[in-house]
Amino acid sequence: MNEKIVIANWKMHGTRVSNHKLINDLLPALQGMDGVKVAICPPMPYLAQLADLLGDTTIALGAQNISERAQGAFTGEVSGQMLADLGCGYALVGHSERRSLYGETDAQVAMKFEAALRAGLIPVLCLGETIYQRRAGNTNAVIGSQLKAVLEQVGIEQLAKGVIAYEPVWAIGTGETASPEQAQAVHQHIRHSLAAKNPRLAARMPLLYGGSVKAENAAQLFAQKDIDGGLIGGASLDADAFGTICQAARI
Ligand code: PGA
């Protein structure tokens, strides 16, 4: 079984004061988390604050987005090198909100994945289908084509340096979680697709589930064979809930 990873995605929430309180409340709940890697992705302007707050803890820092460019005249963008310089270890790429609200394409997501690796970051590649795609029976095809774009860009060896997060769009922020069986079925499909390229790397690839993971359902999801942890949005803003979710990953 792979080591579990739990990543908090704070999205566009927080202030300096509330961040400080949340981390102070969280740290006691995250004691003794052997065998679980925890990372927090705050909004960009707070990365430096979080780097300070997490300084001598085992909790890693991550960014919610990354530019596909290395440097230059790209107003408003943040490069992988800058994120690494601020102490980030992870960068989310292709979150469904970036894809749907900001028009990120599969090709751009693939370039972001590569940019993260170039900067020494671990890219967390988010994949997921909409409810219409699921109802039409296209879930595996959609996930397959999102994955293919990155595989074609970097190859299986480089892909395996990252993390994959399966996040059904219909489950994100809706309170409607995929059932453990639904999530496991997609995770298994992803692992099989990767195994066709390289079975050894596919077995070790961390596959996280995201989409309305809560304190109440985390343990059941994490108990599935091909679920190696979670990407947590709403519940990561609540210290008790996030603490419970991380503890559930220890089992
Ligand atoms: P949620 O978000 O846990 O609030 O559904 C997950 C995500 O968007 O990463």
Closest among 220, 213, 250, 241 to 3, alpha carbons compared: 250
Nearest C-alpha to atom 2 of ligand 1 is from which residue? 233
Closest among 179, 181, 205 to 191, alpha carbons compared: 205
pTM beyond 0.85, yes or no: yes
- The whole-angstrom distance between residue 145's C-alpha and the CA centroid of its chain comes to 19
Nearest C-alpha to atom 7 of ligand 1 is from which residue? 233
Q: Which residues are 59's β-sheet partners?
A: none
Specify whether the CB–CB gap between 71 and 92 falls below 8 A.
no
Per-position pLDDT tens, the chain of length 251: 799 999 999 999 999 999 999 999 999 989 888 889 999 999 999 999 999 999 989 999 999 999 999 999 999 999 999 999 999 999 999 999 999 999 999 999 999 999 999 999 999 999 999 999 999 999 999 999 999 999 999 999 999 999 999 999 999 989 888 999 999 999 999 999 999 999 999 999 999 999 999 999 999 999 999 999 999 999 999 999 999 999 999 96
pLDDT at position 149, please?
A: 97
Q: Ligand 1 in contact with 212 (CB < 6 A)?
A: yes
Using only the alpha carbons of the chain, give its radius of gyration: 17
Q: Which residues are 90's β-sheet partners?
A: 62, 122
In the numeric block, the tokens 């108990």 are attached to 223
Return the percent helix, strand and coil in the chain, to nearest 5: 50, 15, 35
pLDDT at position 225, please?
A: 97
pLDDT at position 251, please?
A: 67
Q: Ligand 1 in contact with 210 (CB < 6 A)?
A: yes
pLDDT at position 176, please?
A: 87
pLDDT at position 230, please?
A: 98
Domains of the chain: 4-248 (3.20.20.70)
